[in-house]
DNA sequence: ATCCTCCCCTAC
DNA sequence: TAAGGTAGGGGAGGAT
């Protein structure tokens, strides 16, 4: 049966080998760092004051080198490592030697193509255990030479911090590099290349020049020239897509790129990448040096040879993958908090050969959800994965691949894992503790980078201990306990008054009332409401700030002191008169009495500031929650206090945990069944609205079907931009195949900064100017449209394009191209607006929008232009 | 503002 | 027949 499919696949998959390498490397690291000697050595290290010397070591054509290391003759021939043979001519090339590269053969190429480029190519099989052993050997060498300052990138590639070695021993970096290369060759029989630079980026770029079997040092003096001449597409992180997007600037090198306006680059490739790239173009690399980066997810997938005749078989696959994932988690001693399922679903009608085992043209669908319980248990993990599979509702026979993974990792048995990054508990948060301190990380970071945060982190453990002790106290925190009974009796009067007066007094005392804008003049200027609003927010700010400071400084007693002060002040009316005129004082007193809402707000905020809960996300105690539903206001404080009590009982609440609890509390207390959360999925027309609109923004709430096929009205409106400027004819009737309950016309919004892929369709919509009748189907696309075939003819001249779709991930498929085409078409349609209709023009587009069958329909625009004015443009959609 | 979900890109 | 995995960063859009 399918019992060992996943296992045997993994044994044979080179991508599984390189993908799973990191997990094995983590074990290597753990073994190394648990060495007493390693940590002892770390303690001795001081902050380095010599310039950084980073080396990047990469094995030359790794798999091919291993395969040929004992065969001189083979080495002289062009060879490639692949499952295929010259006979089968099928299979993907994993690695090839430099002789083969001279013919144009590359990793990732299909064997048949490679053989066309190089008919004499020799194919060699994989030997994963040899790669593993070789990699281990190399890492042992690097570890020994650098004293553990190694950042592993892959099985054939690592960074080494050689700053100390070259400085302390006065060694030329080149000598160290040669030493590495000598040892690697001697102990593995393979050659490697070493790039040297002052940071990881430069070192890595240097390796490119060093290859094969060489060393290259980007000396500080040559950095500027070196980076300026580096091709933009060679910068790590710039791949096919970003590379293509950047092409339009005509800047091939980093030096040229720096002359392109920053905003243009940002718009083209996105903010983060732009920042990274522009840094890189100056030779700057801000990547932190992390010997043991935190693991964030664990997953297993298989999209080869997956064919499921029945649902049972599909479920069995998922089960196997889930088992794999839970076993990996158990090995890593972690548990997952969120489950992901990925399904490759074949695009129907795409015919394939009988024996074909690949996934072919697919839509890749994903679903995720929080696990019911954080776990690494085989059964639990499998069940979570299976429930996602059910949700995706993919027909079994169309499944071409499955993937199961988890993230939101935590340690086993509630013990924080060294690699986990949980949210801090509320008390920790309030005390400003660092979320988690890792012993191992402390050692590393202290020695190498040594930033302030790292130093703080090392104190984490102590603080955590303190917190635990404090937590006990906080649970019986006097202030809160005093009020507990009161809260139980629904905000007993005396308690309310006590706090209200304390709050009032404190607000008044701490704030300089002139700055609070409590002057008559201000009052007249602002008007009552605005005036009260400003005053309130200032006062509460002050209370919060002061109480927070006191609490942080002196703990519970500090806060009590603040409140005592406030109470005392409240009683001493003299003070009021001392500082202000009797008239002013009277006014302030009157104001404070008058504004009940203010008082209540202040009261609750004083209470809440005890735990700084207002700043806690998801808690539902902030202003936003208050303002959100006027209808819920009467019970708001009551709920707030109820939750607060809940939270202060112990120190196990973390924001997201609490958010879930709060939902339950509210549902219970309000006796409202919790509404099923839903994500709108599919939207199609239900009724038709004809509406006469002019220039502006049409706003309406679309109706959609949710995952369970119920009709749902989206709470967020669609803003639909309607352009109607001269010289265009006035907008006439717009047919929306929608149930639109209400529509407003607002002033037009300014254009978004950057047209996203998703807004490309919106651009197309603008072409409706040329149409007499407009008919839009609102559907959606989360995925990019993928156009398998696109025929275009302009002015009766057919411009035919046919793309071969290579569904390999990362292959040059046509989605971006499709977007470009659509933009292009839109552009052309726009040119043929009414005032230029005399131009005879015919555009015929046949578009197959594959994603219509995807599961992830959202509201968005796919257009159907049914009829164009004067047959000017015809767009059909299959 | 921030979180959640889904999707895309990149690297080996 | 061929073995198209694994993990991280990050953007868009909706919900809260
Ligand atoms: N598409 C790819 C890329 C790489 N690899 C594997 C085989 C390589 O040998 C190994 C290391 O990748 P490199 O990018 O370092 O490539 P090589 O080591 O083969 O060549 P180079 O000398 O350029 O480093 O990863 C693979 O299986 N498929
Ligand atoms: Mg290599
Ligand atoms: Mg490499």
| pLDDT tens profile A11-51 | 999 999 999 999 999 999 999 987 655 544 444 444 556 78
Which of A67, A95, A97, A216 has most ligand 1 atoms within 8 Å of CB, for mutation?
Answer: A95
Between CA A690 and CA A736 the distance in angstroms is: 7
| Pair A404, A300: CB distance under 8 Å | yes
The answer to whether some atom of strand B lies closer than 7 Å to the beta carbon of A365 is yes
Distance A369 CA to B4 C1' (A): 10
pLDDT at residue number A549: 56
Within-domain flag for A877:
no
Positions of strand B less than 7 angstroms from a protein CB: 1-12
A149 is catalytic: no
Does ligand 1 lie within 6 Å of residue A58's CB atom?
yes
Coil, strand, or helix at residue A486?
A: helix
The answer to whether some atom of strand C lies closer than 7 Å to the beta carbon of A273 is yes
CA proximity to A405, closest of A381, A424, A423: A381
Same domain, A408 and A497: no
Does ligand 1 lie within 6 Å of residue A128's CB atom?
no
Within-domain flag for A847:
yes
Within-domain flag for A15:
yes
pLDDT at residue number A5: 87
Q: Tell me which of A372, A387, A413 is where a domain ends.
A: A413
Buried b (16+ CB within 10 A) or exposed e, A814-848: bbbbbbebbeebbebbbebbeeeeeeebbbebebb
Q: Name the nt closest to A851 by C-alpha to C1'.
A: B7
Between CA A635 and CA A667 the distance in angstroms is: 13
Q: Tell me which of A413, A439, A474 is where a domain ends.
A: A413
C-beta within 7 A of nucleic chain C, residues 23-82 of A: 23, 82
Within-domain flag for A429:
no
pLDDT at residue number A644: 52
Phi-psi sector, A709: left (phi>0), alpha (psi -120 to 50), beta: left
Does ligand 1 lie within 6 Å of residue A97's CB atom?
no
Residue nearest to nucleotide B6 (CA to C1'): A366
Ligand approaching nearest to the C-alpha of A94: 1
Smallest CA separation from ligand 1 atom 27, residue: A94
The predicted complex's ipTM stands at 0.98
Please report which helix (H) or strand (E) contains residue A96, including its range: strand A95-96
Within-domain flag for A428:
no
Same domain, A115 and A7: yes
pLDDT at residue number A660: 61
CA proximity to A474, closest of A640, A611, A604: A611
Residue A794: domain span: 790-866
Give the 3-state secondary structure of A566-588. Answer: HHHHHHCHHHHHHHCCHHHHHHH
Within-domain flag for A124:
yes
User: Residues of chain A whose pLDDT is less than 50?
Assistant: 39-46, 415-421, 427, 429-520, 540, 565-617, 623, 629-635, 637-638, 641, 645, 648-649, 672-699, 703-712, 715-782, 785-804, 813-878
Same domain, A199 and A314: no
Within-domain flag for A697:
no
| Pair A595, A508: CB distance under 8 Å | no
Overall number of domains in chain A: 4
Q: Tell me which of A182, A212, A242 is where a domain ends.
A: A212
Written as six digits, the tokens of A371 are: 């696990």
Which residues, 6 or more positions from A774, have their beta carbon under 8 angstroms from its beta carbon?
A: A734, A735, A768, A865
The CATH code of the domain that includes A378 is 3.30.1490.100
Give the 3-state secondary structure of A57-68. Answer: EEECCHHHHHHH
Bridge partners for A793 per DSSP: A798, A844
pLDDT at residue number A366: 87
pLDDT at residue number A4: 85
The helix-helix angle for A14-33 and A36-44 (nearest 10°) equals 70
The helix-helix angle for A596-609 and A493-510 (nearest 10°) equals 90
| Pair A96, A62: CB distance under 8 Å | no
| pLDDT tens profile A762-817 | 333 332 222 222 223 332 334 554 444 444 433 344 443 434 456 666 655 444 44
Distance (angstroms) between ligand 1 centre and the Cα of A95 equals 5
Q: What is the pTM of this model?
A: 0.63
The answer to whether some atom of strand B lies closer than 7 Å to the beta carbon of A693 is no
Buried b (16+ CB within 10 A) or exposed e, A580-609: beeebbebbeebbeebeebbbbbbbbbbbb
Does ligand 1 lie within 6 Å of residue A81's CB atom?
no
Within-domain flag for A157:
yes
pLDDT at residue number A658: 59
Smallest CA separation from ligand 1 atom 9, residue: A62
| Pair A380, A373: CB distance under 8 Å | yes
Coil, strand, or helix at residue A383?
A: helix
pLDDT at residue number A349: 59
Same domain, A13 and A116: yes
Catalytic residue among A26, A72, A92, A157: A157
């Amino acid at each position: 049966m399918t019992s060992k499919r996943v296992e045997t696949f993994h044994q044979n998959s080179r991508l599984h080998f390189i993908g799973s390498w990191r997990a094995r490397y983590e074990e290597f690291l753990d073994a190394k760092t648990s060495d007493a000697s390693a940590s002892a050595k770390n303690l001795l290290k001081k902050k380095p004051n010599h310039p950084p010397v980073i080396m990047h070591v990469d094995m030359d054509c790794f798999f091919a080198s291993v395969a040929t290391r004992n065969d001189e003759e083979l080495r002289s021939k062009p060879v490639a490592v692949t499952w295929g043979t010259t006979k089968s001519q099928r299979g993907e090339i994993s690695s090839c030697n430099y002789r083969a590269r001279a013919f144009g053969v590359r990793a990732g190429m299909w064997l048949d193509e490679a053989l066309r480029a190089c008919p004499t190519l020799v194919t060699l099989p994989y030997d994963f255990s040899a790669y593993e052993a070789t990699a281990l050997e190399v890492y042992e060498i690097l570890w020994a030479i650098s004293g553990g300052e190694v950042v592993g990138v892959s099985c054939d590639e690592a960074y080494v911090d050689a700053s100390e070695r070259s400085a302390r021993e006065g060694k030329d970096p080149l000598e160290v590099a040669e030493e590495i290369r000598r040892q690697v060759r001697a102990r593995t029989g393979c050659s490697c290349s070493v790039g040297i630079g002052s940071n990881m980026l430069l070192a890595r770029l240097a390796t490119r020049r060093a290859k094969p079997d060489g060393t290259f040092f980007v000396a500080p003096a040559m950095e500027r020239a070196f980076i300026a001449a580096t091709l933009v597409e060679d910068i790590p992180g710039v791949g096919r897509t970003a590379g293509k997007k950047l092409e339009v600037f005509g800047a091939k090198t980093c030096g040229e790129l720096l002359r392109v306006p920053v905003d243009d680059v940002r718009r083209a490739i996105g903010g983060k990448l732009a920042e990274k790239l522009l840094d890189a173009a100056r030779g700057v690399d801000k990547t932190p040096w992390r010997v043991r980066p935190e693991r964030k997810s664990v997953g297993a997938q298989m999209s080869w040879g997956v064919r499921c005749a029945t649902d049972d078989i599909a479920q069995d696959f998922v089960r196997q993958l889930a088992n794999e994932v839970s076993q990996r988690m158990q090995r890593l001693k972690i548990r997952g908090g969120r489950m992901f399922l990925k399904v490759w679903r074949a695009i129907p009608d795409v015919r394939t050969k009988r024996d074909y085992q690949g996934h072919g043209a697919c839509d890749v669908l994903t679903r995720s959800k929080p696990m019911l319980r954080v776990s690494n248990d085989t059964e639990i993990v499998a069940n979570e994965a299976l429930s996602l599979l059910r949700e995706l509702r993919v027909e079994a026979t169309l499944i071409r691949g499955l993937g199961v993974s988890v993230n939101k990792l935590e340690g086993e048995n509630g013990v924080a894992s060294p690699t986990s990054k949980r949210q801090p508990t509320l008390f920790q948060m309030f005390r400003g503790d660092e979320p988690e301190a890792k012993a191992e990380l402390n050692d590393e970071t202290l020695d190498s980078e040594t930033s302030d945060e790292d130093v703080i982190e090392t104190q984490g453990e102590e603080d955590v201990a303190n917190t635990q002790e404090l937590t006990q106290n906080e649970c019986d925190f006097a202030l809160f306990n005093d009020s507990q009974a009161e809260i139980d009796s629904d905000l007993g009067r005396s308690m309310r008054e006590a706090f209200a007066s304390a709050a009032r007094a404190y607000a008044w005392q701490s704030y300089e009332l002139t700055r609070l804008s409590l002057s008559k003049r201000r009052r007249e200027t602002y008007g009552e409401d605005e005036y009260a609003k400003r005053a309130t927010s200032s006062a509460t700010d002050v209370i919060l700030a002061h109480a927070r400071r006191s609490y942080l400084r002196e703990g519970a007693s500090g806060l009590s002191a603040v409140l005592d002060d406030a109470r005392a002040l409240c009683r001493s009316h003299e003070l009021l008169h001392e500082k202000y005129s009797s008239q002013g004082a009277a006014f302030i007193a009157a104001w404070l009495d008058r504004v009940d809402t203010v008082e209540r707000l202040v009261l609750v905020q004083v209470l809440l500031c005890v735990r700084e809960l207002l700043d806690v996300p998801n808690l539902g105690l902030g202003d936003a929650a208050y303002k959100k539903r006027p209808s819920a206001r009467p019970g708001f404080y009551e709920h707030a206090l109820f939750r607060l009590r809940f939270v202060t009982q112990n120190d196990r609440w973390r924001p997201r945990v609490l958010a879930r609890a709060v939902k339950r509390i509210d549902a219970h207390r309000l006796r409202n069944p919790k509404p099923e959360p839903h994500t709108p999925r599919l939207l199609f027309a239900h009724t038709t609205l004809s509406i006469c609109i002019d220039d502006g923004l049409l706003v309406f709430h679309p109706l959609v079907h949710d995952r369970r096929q119920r009709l749902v009205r989206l709470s967020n409106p669609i803003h639909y931009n309607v352009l109607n400027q001269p010289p265009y004819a006035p907008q006439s009737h717009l047919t929306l195949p929608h149930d639109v309950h209400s529509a407003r016309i607002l002033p037009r919004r300014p254009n978004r900064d950057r047209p996203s892929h998703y807004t490309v369709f919106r651009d197309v919509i603008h072409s409706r100017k040329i149409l007499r009748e407009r008919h839009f189907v609102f559907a959606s696309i989360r995925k990019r449209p993928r156009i398998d075939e696109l025929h275009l003819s302009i002015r009766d001249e057919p411009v035919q394009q046919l793309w071969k779709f290579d569904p390999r991930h990362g292959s040059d498929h046509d989605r971006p191209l499709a977007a470009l085409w659509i933009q292009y078409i839109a552009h052309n349609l726009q040119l043929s607006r009414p005032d230029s209709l005399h131009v005879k023009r015919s555009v015929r587009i046949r578009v197959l929008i594959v994603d219509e069958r995807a599961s992830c329909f959202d509201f968005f625009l796919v257009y159907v232009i049914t009829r164009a004015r004067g047959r000017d443009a015809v767009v059909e959609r299959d």
